[in-house]
Amino acid sequence: MATLQLDNIIKDFGSTRVLKGIDLEVKDREFVVFVGPSGCGKSTLLRTIAGLESASSGDIKINGQRVNEIGPAERGLAMVFQSYALYPHMSVEDNMGFSLRLAKVPRAERREKIRAAARILQLEELLDRKPRALSGGQRQRVAIGRAIVRNPSIFLFDEPLSNLDAALRVQMRIELTRLHHELNATMIYVTHDQVEAMTMADKIVVLQGGSVEQIGSPMELYHHPRNRFVAGFIGSPK
Ligand code: ADP
Ligand code: MG
C-alpha cells in the first residue's frame, strides 16, 4: 500500500520560483506520468518527492504521513535516473546489491533479492558482467533492478528511456508497463515524450512553468484538454 499526496508544494531556487504550488494525489498502484516541456520543473518535483530537494513550503504525505523532514533513505522510495548512474568497476550483481550491502542486508538474502529482480528483468545471464559490456537497454534494466531489490513503496523514474534509441524505447515501455503490473507498485514517471505519457499512464499530470495545467487520464486529456497548451502538447507528435 503506497499513496502520495502533495499539498501546495512550492520550490524556490534563490529568487526563482520553480514549483508554484503543486497539488497532487497518487493512489496506491497508480502509474502517474509527469509530462511537460524541458525546464517546466518535472525533475525538481520528482527530486522533491524523493527528498533529494527540500520543498520551500507545502506538505508531502506518503501513506498519509508527513515526510517533509525525512531524508531519501527513510521514505521507502527508489529513484531511477536518466543517466543510469551505474558503478563502472562493479559487476551487474554488485551494482544491483550495493544499496542492500550499505543497509547491511545479509549476503544470502541479498543474493536472493538480486536473483529475483534479475529474473523479472531478464538479466540472469549477465550478473557477472561489468556495465561497459552491456547494451544501453541492459544498463537501463540494471538501473531498474537496483531500485527493485529495495522493494520500494513507490518507484520514481526520471526520463529513464531518453538515452535509448527509438526501437528500444518502445520495447522498454512495454516492459515497464509489465513490471508495473507484476510488482503491484505505485510508479511516478517523468518524461517529455507525449507518446510515453499516453501509452503508459493511468493518470497524466501536465506541467508548464512550474504549475499543473491539467491532471487526468490519457483519454480525458486527449478528448477534453482544458486549454490550448494541453491540447497542443498531448495532440502534437514529438
Ligand atoms: P525539467 O526536468 O522539467 O526539464 P527541472 O526541474 O530540471 O525541469 O528545472 C526546472 C527549472 O529549475 C529550470 O529553469 C532549471 O534551470 C531550474 N533549476 C533546476 N535545478 C536547479 C538548481 N539546483 N538551482 C537552480 N535552478 C535550478
Ligand atoms: Mg528533467
> ipTM of the predicted structure?
0.98
Buried b vs exposed e over 140-165: b needs ≥16 C-beta within 10 Å? Answer: bbbbbbbbbbbebbbbbbbbbbeebe
Q: Report the C-alpha gap between 114 and 128 in whole angstroms.
A: 12
Instruction: Give CA separation, 50 vs 44, 70, 77, 185, in Å.
Output: 10, 10, 7, 16
Note down pLDDT in tens along the chain; length 238 residues.
Answer: 789 999 999 999 999 999 999 999 999 999 999 999 999 999 999 999 999 999 999 999 999 999 988 888 888 899 998 877 899 999 999 999 999 999 999 999 999 999 999 998 889 999 999 999 999 889 999 999 999 999 998 999 999 988 888 888 888 899 899 999 998 899 999 998 888 999 999 999 999 999 999 999 999 999 999 999 999 888 755 4
Q: Is there an atom of ligand 1 within 6 Å of 41 CB?
A: yes
CA 181 to centroid of ligand 2, rounded, Å: 25
Is 0.90 topped by the overall pTM?
Answer: yes
- Which element (helix H / strand E) includes 176? helix 166-183
Ligand number with the minimum distance to the CA of 36: 1
The pLDDT, as a whole number, for residue 238 is 44
Total count of residues recorded for the chain: 238
Q: Is there an atom of ligand 1 within 6 Å of 38 CB?
A: yes
Cell of 217: 487520464
Residue 52: strand pairing partners: none
Q: What does the DSSP 8-state code read for residue 159?
A: S
Q: Report the C-alpha gap between 134 and 97 in whole angstroms.
A: 17
Per the CB < 8 A criterion, the answer to whether 41 and 212 are in contact is: no
DSSP H stretches of helix in 24-106: 42-50, 92-102
* Helix, strand, coil distribution of the chain in percent, nearest 5: 40, 25, 35
Ligand 2 is an ion; its neighbours by CB within 5 Å are 43
Q: Is there an atom of ligand 1 within 6 Å of 191 CB?
A: no
Q: Which amino acid is at 88?
A: P
**Reduced to 3 states, what is the DSSP secondary structure of residue 73?**
helix
Q: Is there an atom of ligand 1 within 6 Å of 40 CB?
A: yes
Task: Tell me how crowded residue 28 is: count the other CB atoms within 10 A of its CB.
Answer: 14
User: Exposed, middle or buried by CB within 10 Å (0-12, 13-18, 19+), for 20?
Assistant: middle
CA 160 to centroid of ligand 2, rounded, Å: 10
Upper half-sphere CA count for residue 113 (Cβ side, 13 Å): 22
Quick one: which of 148, 149, 123, 124 has its CA closest to 138? 123
